[in-house]
C-alpha cells in the first residue's frame, strides 16, 4: 500500500477525508495491539485507539512524509495518547511496564505457543521499559529501526544498539527453548 498510501494521504490533505477510512483499515489492528500492550484493558484500548485515529484525521494536514513514514507518525500519536491518558489518571507506574504478548488472536488457540509467550513475557518484564518497548515494536509490531527511531525520538543507530544489547541480554538469561521461539518470531517478522 506504500505508493497507494501516499496518494490517499495527499487526497486526505486536499480535503477528501473519506479516503482516511483506507488508512484506518490498514492500521487499526496494529495500533489497537500497540495500545493494548500499554493498558491491558479492552475498553480503555478501544477508547484510546479511537482517540488516536481522530487525532490523526484532525491533523492529517500537518503530516509531512519528509519527517518520517505515516506509520511512525501514527504510532507516535498512539504513544502520546497513551501517555496523556496515564498523566490524566495520575497513576504512579510506567506505562511501558505493560505488555501482553499473548493477545494476538492467531495465537490464542495454540496453548503451547501461548505458554511459551507467557514465559517470554516473564523475561521481558525484567527488562527496562525502553528495552521492552523496542523489542515489542521491532519483533511483534514488525517496525523498522527508522520507524522506531521516529516514535521514541532516538537515532536509528541508538535503536539498533539498544535492540542488539537487549537481545544479547535475553540470550544470557533465557532458556534455550524460549530463546529459540523468540528468534523464530524475529526471523518470521522480517522475511
| Number of domains making up the chain | 2
Give the CATH number for residue 85.
Answer: 1.10.1740.10
Q: Are 75 and 147 in contact (CB under 8 A)?
A: yes
Render pLDDT for 75-102 as a digit per residue (tens, 0 to 9).
999 999 998 998 887 654 444 444 444 4
Q: Are residues 82 and 107 in the same domain?
A: no
**Listed residue (121, 91, 100) closest to 32, CA to CA:** 100
Render pLDDT for 10-33 as a digit per residue (tens, 0 to 9).
999 999 988 999 999 999 999 998
Residues contacting residue 28 through CB under 8 Å, at least 6 positions apart: 49, 53
List of E strands, 79-172 = none
Higher pLDDT, 132 or 123: 132
CA gap 55, 72 in Å, rounded: 14
Domain boundary among 44, 64, 89: 89
Render pLDDT for 164-174 as a digit per residue (tens, 0 to 9).
898 888 778 77
160, three cell numbers: 539498533
The dihedral built from the CA positions of residue 53, 57, 59 and 64, taken in this order, carries a sign that is positive
Q: Are residues 57 and 7 in the same domain?
A: yes
CA gap 63, 48 in Å, rounded: 20
Is residue 47's pLDDT more than 50?
yes
Asked whether residue 128 is domain-assigned, the answer is: yes
Amino acid at each position: 500500500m506504500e505508493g497507494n498510501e501516499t496518494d490517499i494521504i495527499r487526497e486526505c490533505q486536499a480535503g477528501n477525508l473519506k479516503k482516511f477510512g483506507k488508512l484506518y483499515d490498514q492500521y487499526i489492528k496494529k495500533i489497537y495491539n500497540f495500545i493494548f500492550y500499554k493498558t491491558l484493558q479492552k475498553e480503555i484500548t478501544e477508547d484510546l485507539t479511537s482517540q488516536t485515529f481522530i487525532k490523526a484525521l484532525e491533523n492529517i494536514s500537518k503530516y509531512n512524509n519528509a519527517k518520517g513514514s505515516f506509520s511512525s507518525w501514527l504510532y507516535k500519536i498512539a504513544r502520546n495518547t497513551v501517555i496523556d491518558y496515564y498523566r490524566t489518571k495520575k497513576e504512579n507506574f510506567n506505562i511501558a511496564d505493560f505488555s501482553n504478548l499473548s493477545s494476538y488472536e492467531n495465537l490464542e488457540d495454540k496453548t503451547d505457543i501461548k505458554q511459551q509467550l507467557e514465559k517470554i513475557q516473564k523475561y521481558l518484564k525484567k527488562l527496562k521499559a525502553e528495552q521492552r518497548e523496542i523489542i515489542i515494536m521491532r519483533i511483534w509490531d514488525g517496525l523498522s529501526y527508522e520507524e522506531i527511531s521516529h516514535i521514541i525520538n532516538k537515532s536509528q543507530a541508538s535503536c539498533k544498539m539498544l535492540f542488539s544489547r537487549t537481545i544479547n541480554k535475553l540470550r544470557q538469561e533465557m532458556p534455550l527453548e524460549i530463546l529459540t521461539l523468540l528468534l523464530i518470531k524475529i526471523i518470521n517478522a522480517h522475511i
